[in-house]
């Protein structure tokens, strides 16, 4: 898997033709709302361990 494939997948999901040019943000992590962070962590765990839990 290459960076190009990840970029392609992201652009496809967001229906964009190219990566957006965004200004750098200082404390990026803090800008993520707590519910979204919790949902992200849940998806991350499922992505890593879904299979072993099924077993």
Partner 1 sequence: RFSQSFREVAGRLLASEASEASALVLAFGLERRLPAGSELVRAALRLFQRPPPPAAPRRPERSARAQVTVEWLRVLPDGSRRAWLVDSRLVNVHDSGWKAFDVTDAVTFWRQLSPPRPPLLLRVSVRREPLGPGAAGAHRLVRFGAQGPEGAEAAPRLELHTLDLEAYGAQGDCRPEAPAEGARCCRRESYLDLQGLRWAAHWVLEPPGLLLHECAGACRQPPAPRAPPAPFLGPRRCVAAETGPVPVIVRAAAEGGEARPRLLSLPDLRVRRCGCAADGAPLPRPAAP
Q: Alpha-carbon dihedral of residues 10, 16, 19, 20, nearest 10 degrees? A: -120
Provide, rounded to whole angstroms, the least separation between the CB of residue 20 and partner 1: 6
Provide, rounded to whole angstroms, the least separation between the CB of residue 13 and partner 1: 5
Using CB under 8 A as the criterion, which residues of the chain lie in contact with partner 1 when the complex forms?
A: 1-3, 5-7, 9-10, 13-14, 19-20, 22-25, 28-29, 31-33, 36, 39-40, 43-44, 47, 50-51
Provide, rounded to whole angstroms, the least separation between the CB of residue 6 and partner 1: 7
Q: Is the separation of the CB atoms in 39 and 45 below 8 Å?
A: no
Q: Is the separation of the CB atoms in 31 and 25 below 8 Å?
A: yes
């Amino acid at each position: 898997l290459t960076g190009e494939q990840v970029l392609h997948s992201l652009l496809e999901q967001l229906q964009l033709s190219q990566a957006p040019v965004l200004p750098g943000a200082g404390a990026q992590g803090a800008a993520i709302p707590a519910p979204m962070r919790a949902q992200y962590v849940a998806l991350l765990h499922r992505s890593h361990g879904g299979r072993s839990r099924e077993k």
